[in-house]
Chain A
Amino acid sequence: MLLASPHSVRRQQILDATFEVIKREGIQETSIPKITNVMGVSKGIVHHYFKSREELIELSRRRVFRLRHRGFLARINRAETPSDRLWAVISLNLDAKYLEPGFCRAWVSLSSQATEHRPFARLAKILRRRERSNVIYALRQLGHHTDVEEQALGLRMILEGMRHRAGFMALKCSPEVERDHFLLYLRHRAPKFDVYTALTTRH
């Protein structure tokens, strides 16, 4: 096994610290001094590894979403039935790591910045398209054929709404409660989905 070099470990630490600041304050407010404050290191170190604030934010966001995608692949690879596949997409969004205030706020901040910054917009678009096609594929495999597009839209609306709640509403609820609401929703909107899948899957 190849050991990670100190150089790359340091880079990753800085990228992780950057995302911590984004979660707490939003992209607009994220600055190099705030990042070095979190890490307790000098500003010079960050400049040694990264060209600019923009590069830092961009790479940190990529790292987070790469890890998130890995989580998705692990889920989808274990999926055996169409219900498993649909649940792989949904349960990733319900993961306590991703359904917590910080991540959900960062998510909205990214969406907001995406309207002004091209690279953000491109990645956001790819993510959304991928999620959408995964949902549609799983629904078709489940045997839903009419109005699949509309069903997928409804599911994605709920996923976004959950993040809105976790990030911004005073009345929060746990991922488990959110999951139960989702299952009730699926019972009517995707009747062929096997609820047992969701209740027995362990991640």
Chain B
Amino acid sequence: MRRASISQIRRLELENVVFELIGESGIRGLTIARMAQHAGISKGIVHHYFRNKEELITAVVRHGNRVYSDGIRERLRLSKSPSERLWTIIYGQFSSEVFQAMHLQYYLQVLETAIQYQGILRTYNAVNARGRLNVAFALRSLVEPNEVKTTTHTIWNLLEGAWLLAAAEPNLTKDQLLTSVAAYLKGSVPRFDMSVVERMPPR
């Protein structure tokens, strides 16, 4: 394995600090100055890694995705069937590390800032495309080739919709949301093995 350079390590550290910081000031309160103060380093150094607010928020998107990917990596490695892979990818979006009230608010705020900042939107889309690709890959052996695209489309609508709804309606539980996704798979992906849902139950 190639060793990470000091600058890469530093960047990762700083991305973690960004995430800590938004816990206090929200996405909108993210500034280079606050960031420097919080990390106890000079503005110049922060500026070296993040040129502006847009890049700070982009770091939030990447960090959020990393938390998600780290959470499912081990399980994906151990999964034995396409059904298990697919459910791991879906379930990961609702794990306790990822699916938190604060994160739902960040999700909304990141989307809101992406209206204005093209760079955030681009990174968001890159991350998003990777997620959909993973779903499509797992589906390849579960549905007919000509159904992969359609099924991925609907699963993705359900997942993003689940996040948007949950952010707006705090009384919705991940249990309810996952049950709805599972119900879709049961009806539309006949080869999907429902026993994996029982092994990784909604709650």
A174 to chain B, nearest CB (A): 13
Task: Report the separation of the CA atoms of residues A114 and B104 in the bound assembly, to the nearest whole angstrom.
Answer: 13
Determine if B125 and A170 form an interchain contact, defined as CB atoms under 8 angstroms apart. Answer: yes
Determine if A28 and B161 form an interchain contact, defined as CB atoms under 8 angstroms apart. Answer: no
Determine if A189 and B187 form an interchain contact, defined as CB atoms under 8 angstroms apart. Answer: yes
Tell whether B168 is near chain A: CB-to-CB under 8 Å.
yes
Chain A, range 144-184, C-beta contacts under 8 Å to B: 147, 150-151, 153-154, 156-165, 167-171, 173, 181, 184
Q: Which B residue sits closest to A107, measured CB to CB?
A: B164
Task: Report the separation of the CA atoms of residues A154 and B150 in the bound assembly, to the nearest whole angstrom.
Answer: 17
With A161-B156, A161-B159, A189-B183 as given contacts, are A168 and B124 in contact (CB-CB < 8 Å)? Answer: yes
Q: In terms of DSSP, what is the predominant structure of the interface of chain B?
A: helix
| Chain A residues positioned under 8 Å from B112 (CB to CB) | 26-28, 108-109, 112-113
| Chain B residues positioned under 8 Å from A65 (CB to CB) | none
| Chain A residues positioned under 8 Å from B176 (CB to CB) | 150, 153
Chain A, range 121-152, C-beta contacts under 8 Å to B: 124, 128, 147, 150-151
| Chain A residues positioned under 8 Å from B111 (CB to CB) | 108, 112, 164, 167-168
Determine if B168 and A184 form an interchain contact, defined as CB atoms under 8 angstroms apart. Answer: no
Residue interface bits B18-47, CB-to-A below 8 A is 1, else 0:
000000000010000000000000000000
| Chain A residues positioned under 8 Å from B169 (CB to CB) | 128
Q: Which A residue sits closest to B155, measured CB to CB?
A: A161
Determine if A154 and B154 form an interchain contact, defined as CB atoms under 8 angstroms apart. Answer: no
A33 to chain B, nearest CB (A): 16
Among A109, A163, A169, A181, which residue has its beta carbon within 8 angstroms of that of B164? A163
Determine if B108 and A115 form an interchain contact, defined as CB atoms under 8 angstroms apart. Answer: yes
Q: Which B residue sits closest to A106, measured CB to CB?
A: B115
| Chain A residues positioned under 8 Å from B89 (CB to CB) | none
A96 to chain B, nearest CB (A): 18
Q: Which A residue sits closest to B157, measured CB to CB?
A: A161
Determine if B159 and A153 form an interchain contact, defined as CB atoms under 8 angstroms apart. Answer: no
What are 26 residue pairs bridging A and B, where the CB atoms are less than 8 Å apart in the complex? A26-B112, A28-B113, A28-B116, A29-B115, A108-B164, A109-B112, A109-B115, A112-B105, A114-B168, A150-B183, A154-B158, A154-B180, A157-B157, A157-B177, A158-B154, A161-B160, A161-B161, A161-B162, A163-B164, A164-B164, A167-B111, A168-B125, A171-B129, A181-B150, A181-B157, A188-B187
Residues of B within 8 A of A (CB): 28, 105, 108-109, 111-116, 121, 124-125, 128-129, 150, 153-154, 156-162, 164-165, 167-169, 172, 176-177, 179-180, 183-184, 187-188
